[in-house]
Amino acid sequence: MYNFLLPNEFVTTVFEITPEKLEKLGVRGIITDLDNTLIEWDRPDATEEIATWMKELEDAGLKIIIVSNNNDERVKRFADPLGIPFISRARKPLGAAYYAAMKQLRLKSNEVVMVGDQLLTDIMGANRLNLYTFLVRPVAESDGFVTRFNRFVERRVFNLLKRKGIKTWEEQ
């Protein structure tokens, strides 16, 4: 079971995920979570840095789609000004939204990465479909109500990984 929870890479911020890094992986598309991955869960709009990062990825020929468990209004407010397609109310870790995202991007699973901040939703769902996964350190110290339970479970998983000698961004 823990194999579904292990990301391929731990990164401190999304800015470590560069077009060059993705090119080496043979990647042509990115599925990304929104809340606490790109911006804080309670921040409505993209920061200038995030907008620039997404533009750099697109300029490098990479396709991007946001897949979020949040509601349509929340995700639309962030994505529309950037011209980024999105899927809201994704019900991650279930696979339907990941399949829909790959279909929208017109890419196969070996051409797409998932970027997210939660093991139990973003990483587990993507790993079940054999996507390459990046676990990002959450950008906010606080979480919404539902996410607090997931963080509790994540701490237990991180403790197990530490005992097994697997380094996460917490030890880097």
Amino acid at 157: V
Architecture of the structural domain at 2-163: 3-Layer(aba) Sandwich (3.40)
Answer whether residue 172 shows pLDDT above 90: no
Pairing of strands 29-32, 63-67: parallel
Say if residue 81 is preceded by a cis peptide, omega within 30 of 0.
no
Domain coordinates in residue numbering, the chain? 2-163
Q: Please, what is the average pLDDT of the chain?
A: 89
Q: What is the per-residue pLDDT across 80-125, written as a single tens digit (0 to 9) for each?
A: 999 999 999 999 999 999 999 999 999 999 999 999 998 889 999 9
What pTM does this model have?
0.87
Answer whether residue 50 shows pLDDT above 70: yes
What distance in Å separates the CA atoms of residue 102 and residue 90, rounded to the nearest whole number? 13
Answer whether residue 152 shows pLDDT above 80: no
